[in-house]
């Protein structure tokens, strides 16, 4: 078998891990119990590995916030000193079995949603939305006594109930929610409106059947119903559990991770293990929340929630959600054209996701670094625009820096040359 045949065979195996994955929400556990390799004195962040001294101010603030929340330091000055000396370790979330959405600040006592791919047994953990709270630690890198109190409230009062619920239920399959949501206008990155409603329909009856006092019941229900984009973490966990199952497939040129840290953006490839291939982080184009904002206010891409794009959601699924594309002034025909363009760089189609706007054709799946380099077409990914000082100032999309794929293909050729 020649190298080309080996690659084709490997890619079919890798992409099948995405298509045939069976992601199920099974638990809520502290990060230290479910994230592989997370040490007590370690703080995770989004994007490729980066030293504290090289981080953008938003990430630095998140590291300090994480240290204060976890009790690794008593003051900001102490936290900075320990981060600079390496006494507090920093690590990329995507180098573990988790996802660093936004700033991606994760410490060992943060409660995590656990999604298990029941096809392979691989588990991924993602931090839940911090309620209707404006700002938070994990995705925003913020820390106040109010934020810390909210996280403790979630851990001590909300999550024990949700954990009991999901255990009694025996898990909640995620793929059917993703599939139905995309038939109703979600692309499951920037928009989860339909998925939220479906989730509520499935979970709330089980909540009402529990032996709870009314006050506790209302607290949990309000958290689930009132939190914007509640389902987002579940889509990330489902995507990550599938991609982790594909990672390590020898000879595969399929991507298995995307993420940015505000300085660099990076990708991982199934056949290259945990090796990162990076280039300068991209700026997004889209719609700002206010006319006072412009590109000068925008931080280059920061966050790992674009792993959903790796699994065939988000920008690749643009045709499913012209509502999201309208944020950039695009029309339905443009959204359809984007998904059709993504077909040119993908290995297969995912029969789980028939899309009405594509005449029920299936979404493309499995980004192939060879096809990206050959065509010059880079994946279109959706996301939120962060201000340099923190906070979302808009939503839009970007094309992943082509250099990531060129570096990856060069390294792949060196590793697998006959």
377 and 276 together in one domain: yes
Determine the Cα–Cα distance for residues 39 and 27; give it in Å rounded to an integer: 21
Q: Are 30 and 112 in contact (CB under 8 A)?
A: yes
Determine the Cα–Cα distance for residues 249 and 236; give it in Å rounded to an integer: 21
88 and 141 together in one domain: yes
Domain tally, the chain: 2
Among the candidates 234, 269, 294, a domain finishes at: 234
Assess if residue 69 is contained within a domain: yes
Structure tokens at 214: 């009314």
User: pLDDT value at position 332?
Assistant: 93
User: pLDDT value at position 328?
Assistant: 78
72 and 131 together in one domain: yes
* Cα dihedral across residues 7, 10, 16, 17: positive or negative: negative
pLDDT single digits (tens) 146-158 = 999 999 999 999 9
pLDDT single digits (tens) 73-127 = 999 999 999 999 999 999 999 999 999 999 999 999 999 999 999 999 999 999 9
208 and 344 together in one domain: no
Domain CATH number, residue 194? 3.90.1710.10
Structure tokens at 338: 């984007």
Assess if residue 62 is contained within a domain: yes
Among the candidates 166, 199, 234, a domain finishes at: 234
Structure tokens at 74: 């008593």
313 and 345 together in one domain: yes
Assess if residue 244 is contained within a domain: no
Helix axes 193-208, 232-246, angle to 10 degrees: 100
Burial of 351 (0-12, 13-18, 19+ CB in 10 A): exposed
Determine the Cα–Cα distance for residues 319 and 186; give it in Å rounded to an integer: 10
Determine the Cα–Cα distance for residues 402 and 331; give it in Å rounded to an integer: 26
187 and 279 together in one domain: no
193 and 324 together in one domain: no
Terminal-to-terminal C-alpha distance of the chain: 11
Q: For residue 53, what are the domain limits?
A: 27-234
**Which of these, 223, 231, 133, lies nearest to 191 by C-alpha position?**
231
Assess if residue 287 is contained within a domain: yes
pLDDT single digits (tens) 246-297 = 999 999 999 999 999 999 999 999 999 999 999 999 998 888 777 888 888 8
Determine the Cα–Cα distance for residues 271 and 92; give it in Å rounded to an integer: 20
What are the residue ranges in the chain where pLDDT is below 70? Answer: 133-134, 418
Reported pTM? 0.95
Could you give the maximum distance between any two Cα atoms of the chain, in Å? 67
User: pLDDT value at position 336?
Assistant: 96
Structure tokens at 252: 């595969």
Determine the Cα–Cα distance for residues 316 and 310; give it in Å rounded to an integer: 9
Determine the Cα–Cα distance for residues 225 and 211; give it in Å rounded to an integer: 20
Is 48 in a helix, a strand, or coil?
A: coil
Q: Are 320 and 187 in contact (CB under 8 A)?
A: yes
217 and 254 together in one domain: no
User: pLDDT value at position 324?
Assistant: 86
User: pLDDT value at position 396?
Assistant: 84
| Phi, then psi, of 242 in degrees rounded to 5 | -75, -45
Assess if residue 335 is contained within a domain: yes
User: pLDDT value at position 418?
Assistant: 58
Beta strand 89-92 pairing with 42-45: parallel
């Amino acid at each position: 078998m020649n190298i080309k045949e080996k690659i084709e065979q490997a890619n079919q195996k890798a992409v099948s891990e995405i298509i045939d994955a069976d992601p199920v929400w099974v638990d809520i556990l502290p990060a230290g119990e479910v994230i592989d390799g997370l040490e007590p004195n370690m703080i995770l962040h989004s994007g490729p590995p980066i030293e504290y001294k090289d981080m953008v101010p938003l990430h630095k603030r998140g590291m300090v916030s994480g240290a204060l929340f976890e009790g690794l330091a008593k003051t900001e000055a102490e936290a900075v000193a320990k981060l600079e000396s390496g006494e507090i370790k920093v690590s990329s979330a995507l180098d573990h079995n988790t996802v660093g959405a936004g700033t991606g600040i994760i410490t060992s006592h943060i409660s995590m949603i656990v999604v298990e791919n029941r096809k392979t047994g691989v588990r991924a953990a993602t931090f839940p939305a911090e309620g209707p709270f404006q700002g938070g630690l994990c995705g925003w890198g913020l820390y106040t006594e109010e934020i810390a109190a909210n996280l403790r409230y979630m851990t001590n009062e909300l999550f024990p109930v949700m954990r009991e619920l999901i255990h009694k239920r025996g898990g909640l399959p995620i793929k059917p929610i993703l599939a139905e949501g995309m038939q109703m206008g979600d692309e499951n990155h920037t928009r989860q409106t339909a998925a939220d409603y479906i989730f509520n329909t499935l979970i709330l009856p089980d909540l009402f059947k529990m032996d709870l006092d009314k006050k506790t019941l209302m607290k949990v229900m309000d958290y689930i119903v009132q939190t914007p984009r509640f389902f987002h973490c579940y889509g990330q966990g489902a995507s990550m559990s599938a991609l982790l199952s594909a990672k390590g497939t020898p000879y595969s040129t399929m991507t298995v991770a995307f993420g940015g840290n505000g300085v660099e953006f990076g990708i991982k490839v199934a056949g290259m293990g945990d090796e990162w291939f990076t280039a300068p982080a991209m700026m997004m184009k889209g719609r700002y929340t206010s006319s006072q904002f412009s590109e000068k206010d925008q931080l280059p891409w920061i966050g790992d929630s674009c792993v959903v794009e790796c699994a065939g959601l988000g920008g690749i699924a643009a045709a499913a959600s012209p509502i999201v594309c309208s944020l950039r002034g695009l029309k339905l025909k443009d959204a359809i054209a984007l998904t059709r363009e993504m077909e040119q760089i993908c290995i297969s189609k995912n029969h789980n996701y028939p899309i009405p706007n594509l005449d029920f054709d299936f979404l493309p799946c499995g980004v192939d670094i060879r096809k990206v380099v050959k065509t010059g077409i880079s994946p279109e990914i959706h996301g939120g625009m962060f201000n340099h000082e923190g906070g979302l100032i808009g939503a839009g999309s970007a094309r992943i820096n082509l250099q990531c794929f060129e570096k990856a293909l060069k390294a792949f050729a060196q590793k697998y040359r006959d």
